[in-house]
Structure 1
Amino acid sequence: MKICYSFLSFFMLMTIGFSQSKQKEMPLLDNGVSEALAHFRKQQISNVTYGLSFEIPEQKQQDIVSNLILNLDLSDLSKPLYLDFKEKSSSIKSVEANGKNTPIVHENGHIVIPTQVLTLGKNTIAISFIAGNLSLNRNDDFLYTLLVPDRASTLFPCFDQPDLKATYKLSLTVPKDWSVLAGADVKEKAEKGNFTAYIFEESNKMSTYLFSFVAGKFKSITENPGLEMTMLYRENNPEKIQVSTDTIFKLHQQSLDFLEKYTNYKFPFQKLDFASIPFFQYGGMEHVGAIQYKESTLFLDNSATDSEKLDRAKLIAHETSHMWFGDLVTMKWFDDVWMKEVFANFMADKIMNPIFPKVNHNLQFLTAHYANAYAEDRSLGTHPIKQNLANLKDAGSLYGAIIYNKAPIMMRQLEASMGEAAFQKGIVKYIKKYANDNADWNNLVEILDAETPMDLQKWSKVWVNKSGRAIFINKVEYDAQNRIKKFEILQNAEDKSNNIWPQIFQIGLVYSDHVKAVDVNIKDKNLLLKEVIGFEKPLSIIYNYNGFGYGVFPLDGNTIESVLSLKDEVARASTYINIYENALIGNVAPIKAFDCFLKGIQQEQNELVLKIIANQTSSVFWKFLTKKQQTKVQKQLEDILYERLQTALPGNIKKTLFNLFSSVAYSDSAKAKLYQIWNKEIVIPNLKLNEDDYTSIAMNLAIFKHEKADEILNKTKASITNTDKQRRFEFLLPSLSKDESVRNAFIESLKDDKNREKESWVAVGLSNVHHPLRHESAQKYIRFSLDLVEEIQRTGDIFFPKDWLNNTVGKYSSKFAFDEVQRFLKENPNFSPILKRKLLQATDGLYRAQNIKKETE
């Protein structure tokens, strides 16, 4: 009745503001934020300040009473003022406009303020409301907001679009033993019985998705490595705290120093504080003044490998880079969300060079980006780097490996083509021109275009606006003296289109005593490489020798054997990746690729290269070998890994080998060894295992049906010292049970969205249930998982739909699973195109396995 009365009052009050027909108004009132609404509000609204207060109760089930004082300027009253609030209407308690009570009109997730209570120029809107819980991430003793990309409107009424930047005046009232962190410094603090009230300074300008606060039982530490910074954390392992804390602050400062120098622009915000969150949904999130990180990534102990330390440094550099790329200069619309991510990753890779001088950074770039980019770009669900976005409610679907991994590859190609100096000069101009504002890709291209003779519009047309990758072939002819007479490289688009990717890479001509690296700059469909004419016939030809090229490259007859003897670690890594990609497109039998990887495992000395080999070995073993082949090689794989663990090797190499061993040691003999390691009856020299490692071993032993599985799990639960990790393990226990009915109940419980709140926990639980060794009992839940995925998108954060699919149907390679997917798609012709793309990405291995296994059986 209240809503019906409000609508009646609303239409009785309307004059000029509603002279247009309802049909013309309705597009602005669609669910979410349409482009039409965003464009209108951008020209209507300016000078926005949000005054927000939240009263956080002691119990997470209690409502959070909240208030908004919104100050803004209006330049157009041809339409009402639309605020976004994707909560139930009953959560809106009152609305005032310029001191006048206004009927509550809440339609399709928008609060409508009528024009007759507004004025041209300055306006003040006051709204009392109950804060939405969807993005508050409430726990018993802490909470944190996570509002990217369009979740601010699930928390408070706002203009939830990136090009309406605003400042924030925040007040938080929290239980008195809680700490707080937000985008500005605390201005005032007052005790109020069992609570403490905090008033913060006015923040810098930012988009709504960058607003954040953290509150809860955290410990706090402040250091000044150059800029004073404060960190909130819950980690309680003394070794991890001692080993990690100074490094965490130092890495932030090193990143700041690099970025200030590279961009010629000082750190642009009031502060750079951060919070370490247990089981955070992402690696990190770049909130202005209050970055959030996944705690397990920040806090490492003495068992950490070089790769884990590098991953932490890159994460910190990535989020710090966002302060300039994303926070200071923000995309106009979320179709360019890839721009902030490409620069964050691209700059993070650059920042690593001086911080880790002993690391081969070309190798690091290759291992960080290529396999992940190929995994999506080779699938039927691939998409261009820049995607269309009609409504902000779908913005979460844009995220994935294409923007995080293919885009940096594109950007490195662009920098190499332009030259580093010209590229940096353009970036400096871009930051200066659009500081505290918004820009799109065309704005950047216009600036970069002035620094190079290249036709950047044409270049970016395929790299940015088209999907897919090149499949390269070669034509090499030799004369009677065994010298190269003709060397031609050709490229075709994998998707059979006419797309051509201009790019730079090297080929390596391998001789008995040296390798001749030759630069290739292919701009068209084919290239005659005149530089090698007259060269002696090499023992083998290694394509993409320097790892710069993007696509699938030819293998000559000796490539698989030659990779083992290549001294250049980038060339080895690139070749291993290329062998795997050739196996997936049918050019190499999976068992032959597996044998190659097995030899690599036996001799590889570089951790980053070994991680590539280990990942590809696991993938081929579980997905692309026939059951007969798998049975034949499984004991061999276990023995090779265990034997190499007994040799004198660096700890980081042993840790990489052990992680693979632990994941495949399901034969009786290997399982017995794994149990002895877990039970500390066997100690492998120089293999450092921490509490988390022992927990992972216990989980694997349970999945492998060790006879003492229940005892192992109970002892593991009792040994976990961190409260947050204990809760996680308790959540996962049903997914590890040997009782199928218990596992079934776990899966059924996920129908209720409250049981999916800890998304990273859910992903691990799904992976446990759908482990390849459990497919026979779990495959009945493939359709269950597919039927639920639209709700997963509606209630989950941006990466959860893909994680859900990866850890359910994405775990399979069987004909049964393939048929289930086909049946689901046939019975749901109107299935969301966005989610279908995610499904096709997650099931690329499943699709390919149908053809690969047919060919090998």
Structure 2
Amino acid sequence: MKLRILLAVLVFNLFSCQNTSKKPDLLSPGISKELADFRKEQLSEIVYNLDFAIPEKLEDSIPAVLLLEVTIDNHLKPLYLDFNVPEGHVKNVIANRKEITIHHEQEHLIIPSAHLKRGANTFEIDFIAGEQSLNRNEEFLYTLLVPDRASTLFPVFDQPNLKALYNLTITAHKDWKVLAGAPEISTETTGAYTTHKFGTSDKMSSYLFSFVAGKFSEVEQNSVAFPMTLLYRETDSAKITSSLDPIFELHAGAVDYLEEYTAYPFPFQKLDFAAIPIFQYGGMEHVGAIQYRESTLFLDQTATESQLLSRAKLIAHETSHMWFGDLVTMNWFNDVWMKEVFANFMADKIVNPAFPEVNHDLLFVLSHYPSAYAEDRTQGANPIRQNLDNLKNAGSLYGNIIYHKAPIMMRQLELATGKKAFQEGIQEYIKTYANDNAVWNDLVSILDSKTEIDLKQWSEVWVNQSSRPVFSEEVTYDSNGAIKKLQLTQNAEDGSAKIWPQTFKIGLVYSDSTHVITAAIIDEELVLEEATGLPKPQQIIYNYDSMGYGIFPQQESVLQSIAQIPDAVARGYSYINTHENLLNAGLDPMSVFELYKEGLTTEENALILRRISGQTQNLFWTYLSDMQRESHQQELEDLVYAQLQKDLPATIKKTLFGLFESIAYSESGKKRLYAIWNKETKIDALKLNEDDYTGMAMQLALFGHHKTEEILQKAASQISNPDKKRRFQYLQPALAADERTRDAFMSDLKEAKNREKESWVLSALGYINHPLRQESGVKHLKMSLELLEEIQLTGDIFFPKNWLNATIGRYTSEEAYQIRETFLEANPDLNQVLKNKLYQATDDLDRLHRRRSKIK
């Protein structure tokens, strides 16, 4: 009996230990999935009453008060608020009217269960505002709290599925404007300060809470059913005059379209926006107070069609987020791609009526395919939907796959479902999950009922797996020269067994016509029966309608005919496909160079010419050898400069000038560029503004013009906008001819405070690591890689990848490749997502290394 009791005790203890080990770790840095799931069950009816007092001096801290109202179901467990700030920022905590001891550890403010009660609770917290995501400048500040940065500003439940209401009070200098997510209901001025009180906000996730304060100009228009307000700091009168009406009109048009498409009215109290000079992204969809990068919104008469389109798409994208992301929010940030894919997808639809003269099918192809391929072809390719264990890693999920492959996938999904059924599904999705949270399978389940296709299986390869198909052809002919067999075979580029079900068209080109057939491929191989018996074509253009995704066959013997393809969509995609075949070592770089030269002289479509120009720059600086580049630089410079002298549209000329400016480093090029900058040479129809002249001055400094010091001094004196003048001054060390000055600048970037203005930092890195300066810049690559993990923690969501792109991503040498390999060997535990970002940024470096290895 005693033995049985002993065994029972041992078994009990064993299971107790096992159960204990399985308990979720609720207290750890960041916001773990376990903590988020626990709080979702524990909490409801959350209201944040926040009061910030912004001092006049930039160096002074910001005192703040939070009155938190929350309903607690499980009061036997502690309450964990997220507050990722240094120790000492919490000054006082009152829990349900009782002052308690402060427990602030591992990035959390903890209220012990003894101070909680079931039902309604209130907590008053005096604290010093965190500043990691409170972007403070001398004359303005703004919050940017995506994805988990609200907790670096104030104590909060910083997860997307705990939506809350906000009551905000901001006290700031009386000369400052303040914009927040709810309407302002009162102001009171005392001495040099004004207190701004805002009404109760709409329910929102914590990453969508925001405010902007500072010296801004303000304008209001009634372009929709309610007035919209814009804050801005732009001082160029030409840009202001040309931009204000379009900015409001584009927002209003987007709202009208989205209300009709979703069958759901505008979901929030207001739609205001602020244009910020140094904003890290193109835009951010804060509820009631969208933030934009100012340079994207404010354009003048020199703006190209591409710039106008970019502005329209950006505004449509951020406005779409009001429904997709803000109204219906992902449950966890592993589905962050959902809000981005919908915003991009809807933006493409919205822009169509605003630009009726644009070929929107072509625009979609050129906007999304190159960027999606740029990551999906790499060793670091990731699925659209990624796993996420902790929100502290959520920022690293962002990238081109989310923003560009996902819309391509969505277009295929719409094609598979049918436009009408797809829209009905979206309307049901919005209505069902309004003011709530959803996951991808929620939408798939809705759409699955509207099509015969197994969307869950379809989604598995398109959404949950990475890479892309590589198509190969088998074409045979009979004795009469007719097609006997036309077969396509797809294989996954990453070597896996994945198959992508998709539909696209194939063009068989004859001397007087093009015969188009449809390819609906669902297996590894597809025999195109419709082609059997057709005469032998001059060439076969795969993915003729650009609906397909992957690398398609491209014969080098007919490469030059691409420039003569009459269909703009087919021609545009063929240039993209040529680039992909070049990278896969399927085409000779010099043959491709000849095609691009022809395209630069014959292409009349501004969108395609922009793509040719970009691919030409990549080929010239990356895939031509040093000897080839030096041999053909003058030829390319002369060709582009000659095109600038011709009678061509302004948009075409602006694109050509951008290419000329990027490669004009020869003595003749510097002379020509200097003459344009100094206004000695005027090129008809080339519209240049102050920003263009500033850019030319910096490019001349990069190229080592003998009058560099004089050029930079004159350029500085001609900059009228104080924000742009400060940026120009910041970039001077990166432009310096003296290597020691550039080295000192790079050394300063080790300090996080010197990396705060991220867009400025990236511009500076572009000059320091330019191909012409890589002999001196390569020594900084080791340091740049060693800072990567810190940059993920201190920088905003796009900064780690952009940092890599601007440093080691610019390099082509074997030395740079070995530096990367040494770093990876020394850091075997590097976060896999960061490792993927590194592989994505160095894809060209990988391909060049493999080419060199084959030659050896």
Normalised-by-shorter TM-score class: over 0.9
Give 3-state SS (helix, strand or coil) of 1:552's partner.
Answer: coil
Match in the other structure for 2:11: none
Q: Equivalent residue for 1:477? A: 476
Q: Is 2:112 the counterpart of 1:110?
A: no
Matches within 5 A, 1:760-775: 760-775=759-774
CA–CA distance in 1 between the matches of 2:214 and 2:230? 13
1:587 match: 586
Q: Which residue of 2 aligns with 1:499?
A: 498
Could you say if the C-alpha distance between residues 26 and 451 of structure 1 is closer, same or farther in structure 2, counting changes exceeding 3 Å? closer
Equivalent of residue 188 in structure 1, options 172, 186, 189: 186
Equivalent residue, structure 1, for 2:631: 632
> What are the residue-to-residue correspondences of 1:138-537 with 2, within 5 Å?
138-226=136-224, 227-537=226-536
The offset of 1:556, in angstroms, is 3.0
Tell me if the contact between 1:626 and 1:856 (Cα under 8 Å) persists in the aligned partners: no
SS in 1 for 2:71: strand
Q: Which residue of 2 aligns with 1:11?
A: none
Give the drift of 1:516: 1.5
Check the 8 A contact 2:24/2:34 in 1, yes or no.
no
2:750 matched residue in structure 1: 751
Distance, in Å, in 1 between the alignment partners of 2:852 and 2:541 is: 28
Change (3 A) 1:484 1:204: same
Aligned partner of residue 604 in structure 2, secondary structure: coil
Which residue number corresponds to residue 642 of structure 2?
A: 643
Alignment partners' CA distance in 1, 2:763 and 2:724: 13
Alpha-carbon distance, 1:851 to partner = 2.5
- Whichever residue aligns with residue 589 of structure 1, its letter is D
Contact 2:599–2:612 (Cα < 8 Å) also in 1:
yes
Opposite residue 155 of structure 2, the aligned amino acid is P
For residues 677 and 741 of structure 1, do their structure 2 counterparts lie closer, same or farther at Cα, with a shift above 3 Å needed?
Answer: same
Residue 90 of structure 1 aligns to a residue in which SS? coil
Alignment of 1:58-77 (within 5 A): 58-77=56-75
CA contact (8 A) 1:191 1:197 kept: yes
Partners in 2 of 1:590 and 1:821 — Cα distance? 25
**Cα displacement string for residues 114-137 of structure 1 (whole angstroms, at most 9, x for unaligned residues):** 112111110001100000000000
**SS of the residue 1:95 aligns to:** strand
CA distance in 1, matches of 2:769, 2:574: 31
Task: Tell me the amino acid that sits aligned with residue 190 of structure 1.
Answer: E
Contact 2:556 2:587 (8 Å CA) reproduced: no
- Inter-CA distance 62–21: structure 2 relative to 1 (3 Å threshold): farther
Instruction: Report the CA distance between 1:854 and its aligned residue.
Output: 5.4
Label 1:470 to 1:260 Cα distance change in 2 as closer, same or farther (>3 A): same
Can you list the C-alpha shifts for 1:341-369, whole angstroms capped at 9, x where unaligned?
A: 00000000000111111100010000110
CA distance in 2, matches of 1:77, 1:23: 23
Question: How far apart are the structure 2 equivalents of 1:204 and 1:770?
Answer: 46
Which residue of the partner structure matches residue 546 of structure 1?
545
Aligned to 1:577: 576
Q: Which residue does 2:126 correspond to in 1?
A: 128
Residue 804 of structure 2 corresponds to residue 805 of structure 1 = yes
Q: Secondary structure at the match of 2:80?
A: strand
1:610-759 aligned at under 5 Å gives the runs 610-759=609-758
What is the one-letter code of the residue matched to 1:521?
A: A
Task: Give SS of 2:200's match.
Answer: coil
CA shift digits 1:510-544 (9 cap, x unpaired) = 11112122121111111111111111111101111
- Give the Cα separation in 1 of the matches to 2:693 and 2:850: 38
CA distance, structure 1, for counterparts of residue 341 and residue 167 of structure 2: 31
**C-alpha separation in 2, matches of 1:346 and 1:400:** 16
Distance 1:209 1:104 in 2: 25
Kindly provide the CA deviation profile for residues 78-105 of structure 1, in whole angstroms up to 9, marking residues without a partner as x: 3111000001120000111110111110
Superposed CA deviations along residues 716-765 of structure 1, whole A, max 9, x for unmatched, are: 11110000000000000000001111111111111111111100000010
1:557-609 CA-to-partner distances (Å, cap 9, x unmatched) read 54412211111111111000001100111111122212211111111111110
Distance 2:390 2:337 in 1: 16
Residue equivalent to 1:6: none
CA RMSD of aligned residues (A): 1.3
Aligned residues of 1:371 and 1:577 also touching (Cα < 8 A): yes
Tell me whether 690-699 or 211-220 shows the greater mean CA deviation. Answer: 690-699
Partner of residue 12, structure 2: none
Q: Report the AA paired with residue 373 of structure 1.
A: A
Percent of aligned positions that are identical: 56
Matches of 2:652 and 2:41, distance apart in 1:
57
SS of residue matched to 1:642: helix
Of the three residues 69, 78, 85, the one matched with 1:80 is 78
Residues 624 and 852 in structure 1, CA contact (< 8 A), matched pair in contact too? no
Is residue 540–residue 557 contact of structure 1 (8 Å, CA) maintained in 2? no
Q: Is the 8 A contact 1:540 1:558 kept in 2?
A: no
Q: What is the aligned partner in structure 1 of residue 8 from structure 2? A: none
CA distance in 1, matches of 2:710, 2:855: 41
- 1:852: how far off? 3.1
Distance of 1:176 and 1:288 partners within structure 2: 25
Q: Determine the C-alpha separation between the residues in 1 that align with 2:636 and 2:307.
A: 25
**1:594-605 to 2 correspondences below 5 Å:** 594-605=593-604
Q: State the partner residue of 1:137.
A: 135
Letter in 2 for 1:840: Y
State the alpha-carbon separation in 2 of the partners of residues 302 and 417 from structure 1.
42
Counterpart Cα distance in 2 of 1:659 and 1:704? 15
TM-fit CA distance, 1:440: 0.3
Letter of the 2:91 partner, please give it: K
The answer as to whether partners of 1:190 and 1:196 remain within 8 angstroms in 2 is: yes
* In 2: Cα distance, 1:825 partner to 1:597 partner: 36
The 3-state SS of whatever aligns with 1:137 is strand
- Flag structure 2 segments of 5+ consecutive residues without an equivalent: 1-17
Please state how far the C-alpha of 1:21 moved relative to its aligned partner. Answer: 11
Which amino acid is 1:95 matched to?
Answer: V
The residue type equivalent to 2:667 in the other structure is D
Aligned-pair CA distance for 1:294:
0.3
Task: Name 2:41's counterpart in structure 1.
Answer: 43
SS in 1 for 2:66: strand
Q: Which amino acid aligns with 1:236?
A: T
**Are residues 856 and 510 of structure 1, via their aligned partners in 2, closer, same or farther at CA, if it must alter by over 3 Å?**
farther
In 1: Cα distance, 2:346 partner to 2:626 partner: 44
User: Residues of 1 paired with 2:241 and 2:823: CA distance?
Assistant: 52
Cα distance between partner residues in 1 of 2:734 and 2:697: 13
Q: Report the secondary structure of 1:148's partner residue.
A: coil
Provide closer, same or farther for how the CA distance between residues 31 and 540 of structure 1 changes in structure 2, counting only shifts above 3 A: same
Distance across 2 between alignment mates of 1:248 and 1:717: 29
Deviation at 1:23, TM superposition (A): 7.0
SS state of the match for residue 673, structure 1? helix
How big is the shift at 1:26? 7.1
* More deviation, 250-259/587-596: 587-596
Give TM-score, length-normalised by structure 1.
Answer: 0.97
Asked if 2 retains the 8 angstrom alpha-carbon contact of 1:275 and 1:293, the reply is: yes
- String of CA shifts for 1:399-433, please: whole Å, max 9, x gaps: 00000000000000000111100100100000000
Cα shift at 1:54: 0.2
Once the two structures are superposed, what CA deviation does each residue of 1:155-209 show, in whole Å capped at 9, x if it has no partner? 0000000000001000000000000000011111101110000110000000000
Q: Distance in 2 between matches of 1:159 and 1:212?
A: 15
Once residues 605 and 576 of structure 1 are traced to their aligned partners in structure 2, the CA distance between those partners, rounded to angstroms, is 14
Inter-partner Cα distance in structure 1 for 2:560 and 2:678: 40
